Structure 1
Protein backbone atom coordinates (compact mmCIF):
# COMPACT_ATOMS: atom_id res chain seq x y z
CA UNK A 1 0.00 0.00 0.00
CA UNK A 2 2.75 2.44 0.93
CA UNK A 3 4.79 1.81 -2.21
CA UNK A 4 1.66 2.43 -4.30
CA UNK A 5 0.78 5.63 -2.45
CA UNK A 6 4.31 6.88 -3.10
CA UNK A 7 3.36 7.48 -6.73
CA UNK A 8 0.61 9.94 -5.77
CA UNK A 9 2.64 11.66 -3.06
CA UNK A 10 4.76 14.73 -3.70
CA UNK A 11 8.51 14.60 -4.32
CA UNK A 12 9.22 15.46 -0.68
CA UNK A 13 6.99 12.68 0.65
CA UNK A 14 8.18 10.43 -2.12
CA UNK A 15 11.84 10.98 -1.23
CA UNK A 16 11.16 10.41 2.47
CA UNK A 17 9.11 7.29 1.84
CA UNK A 18 11.59 6.06 -0.75
CA UNK A 19 14.29 5.76 1.91
CA UNK A 20 11.89 4.02 4.29
CA UNK A 21 10.51 1.81 1.55
CA UNK A 22 13.88 0.66 0.25
CA UNK A 23 13.51 -2.64 2.11
CA UNK A 24 9.82 -2.84 1.24
CA UNK A 25 10.52 -2.26 -2.45
CA UNK A 26 13.08 -5.05 -2.40
CA UNK A 27 10.56 -7.42 -0.84
CA UNK A 28 7.97 -6.46 -3.45
CA UNK A 29 10.44 -7.02 -6.30
CA UNK A 30 11.50 -10.37 -4.89
CA UNK A 31 7.82 -11.31 -4.76
Structure 2
Protein backbone atom coordinates (compact mmCIF):
# COMPACT_ATOMS: atom_id res chain seq x y z
CA UNK A 1 0.00 0.00 0.00
CA UNK A 2 2.86 2.33 0.81
CA UNK A 3 4.09 1.89 -2.75
CA UNK A 4 0.81 3.16 -4.19
CA UNK A 5 0.76 6.04 -1.71
CA UNK A 6 4.33 6.85 -2.71
CA UNK A 7 3.30 6.83 -6.36
CA UNK A 8 0.38 9.17 -5.67
CA UNK A 9 2.64 11.40 -3.61
CA UNK A 10 5.27 11.49 -6.33
CA UNK A 11 2.59 12.31 -8.89
CA UNK A 12 1.29 15.13 -6.70
CA UNK A 13 4.75 16.44 -5.86
CA UNK A 14 6.12 16.20 -9.41
CA UNK A 15 3.57 17.99 -11.57
CA UNK A 16 5.78 17.87 -14.64
CA UNK A 17 3.90 15.85 -17.24
CA UNK A 18 0.82 14.88 -15.26
CA UNK A 19 -1.75 13.98 -17.87
CA UNK A 20 -5.46 13.59 -17.20
CA UNK A 21 -5.01 9.83 -17.55
CA UNK A 22 -2.39 9.71 -14.81
CA UNK A 23 -4.49 11.92 -12.56
CA UNK A 24 -7.54 9.71 -13.21
CA UNK A 25 -5.50 6.59 -12.47
CA UNK A 26 -4.28 8.18 -9.26
CA UNK A 27 -7.87 8.92 -8.24
CA UNK A 28 -8.88 5.34 -9.04
CA UNK A 29 -5.98 4.05 -6.94
CA UNK A 30 -7.06 6.32 -4.09
CA UNK A 31 -10.58 4.88 -4.27
CA UNK A 32 -9.21 1.34 -4.34
CA UNK A 33 -7.02 2.11 -1.33
CA UNK A 34 -10.05 3.52 0.47
CA UNK A 35 -11.89 0.27 -0.12
Report the TM-score when normalising by structure 1. 0.40
Higher helix share: 1
